[in-house]
Amino acid sequence: MRDFAQDHRWLSINTATVRKQHGVEQSLPDILEACAQRGIRAVSPWRDQVAAAGLDNISRLVKTHGLELSGYCRGGMFPAVDAAGVRAAADDNRRAVDEACALNAACLVLVVGGLPGALTGKALHKDIARSRSQVHDGIAALLEYAKANHMPLAIEPLHPMYAADRACINTLEHALDVCDALDPASTGALGVAVDVYHVWWDPKLQAQIARAGKERLLAFHVCDWLTPTTDLLNDRGMMGDGVIDIPKIRDWVEAQGFAGYSEVEIFSTSNWWQRGSGEVLDTCIARHKTVV
């Protein structure tokens, strides 16, 4: 396993981590500058942040600061109740691939979607198998476009508590089943994003990481699981403040040959979003060296 204690050259910041300080939306250019000032070499921005600042502008700033993108957040949200909805998702996902290419991202992360309408509290049906089938078909179609544009797709299995509203792929095993079906040769065009928050509990995690292998391990995300967790979405912990044995999982991932960034992604309404960006980033650097 790589030694992270000496420096933070393998730290990436998912820009959601410092996007809402004191409840105020932070601009992506400011976030990029704050990262670059601290010698952080990689980020993973969100599409809405990029759109707000302008794709060309962000593309230029990324180059100016010498930043890499460990991933681009995010494509997915495939399920819909009718053909028009499926088409709209497909179109939007191709645009996400285009943006990821413009930003030279390492991969496009896919949060695949759950039951249509559930995210706004009005699920339009309860057939999760139907959603899973649509996700399979949606990734299959997008994969052709992504391959042609040389943009790897990383399926991110989300914690089962998001099965209804955000993603109906909830285990690494399920994500890899989809990879096996759509990219049996393990070409590197389709893989997974392993976020410890979503998968730490899984008794099959080590075995499935081994199954994934280097070709399918496209991204590695870290934060921590707090006890108690007071909000299903926005109470993620800083690495070291929770119960996840992060070094053990990183060891499993690196044993397969993964040598990319360790991306910090923390949504934290009541704690980390209530502090200044500088303090949060400095803490990420310190924790990256000591507990990741």
**Site residues (vs its own copies, CB under 8 A):** 115, 118-119, 121, 123, 126-128, 132, 159-161, 163-165, 168, 170-171, 174, 200-203, 225, 227-230, 232, 242-245
The residue among 67 and 193 lying less far from its own copies, judged by its C-beta, is: 193
**Closest approach of its own copies to the CB of residue 177, in Å:** 8
**Is 41 or 198 the residue whose CB approaches its own copies more closely?**
198
Min CB(181)–its own copies separation in Å: 13
Q: Which is nearer to its own copies, 61 or 123 (CB)?
A: 123
Least separation in angstroms between CB 37 and its own copies: 33
Q: What does the alpha-carbon distance between residue 136 and residue 140 come to, in Å, rounded to a whole number?
A: 6
Q: What's the closest the beta carbon of residue 121 comes to its own copies, in angstroms?
A: 5
For residue 46, what is the DSSP state? B
Give the C-alpha separation, 136 to 139, whole Å: 5
Contact 273, 23 (CB under 8 A): yes
How many angstroms separate the CA atoms of 277 and 272, rounded? 9
Positions of E strands within 47-146 = 68-69, 72-76, 108-111
CB of 226 to its own copies, least distance (A): 8
Query: Please, what is the minimum distance in Å from the beta carbon of residue 115 to its own copies?
Result: 6
Residue 241 DSSP symbol:
S
Residues 6+ apart with CB under 8 A from 160: 170, 171
DSSP 43: E
SS3 234: coil
In this structure, are residues 98 and 149 in contact, taking their beta carbons and an 8 Å threshold? yes
Q: Provide the β-strand partners of residue 113.
A: 167
For its own copies, the closer CB: 109 or 118: 118
Nearer to its own copies, 72 or 272 (CB): 272
| Phi and psi at residue 156, to the nearest 5° | -105, 105
Are 2 and 8 contacting, i.e. CB atoms less than 8 angstroms apart?
no
Compare residues 87 and 126 and give the one whose CB is closer to its own copies. 126
Q: Residue 201 Cβ, how far from its own copies at the closest point, in Å? A: 4
- Closer CB to its own copies, 18 or 226, in the complex: 226
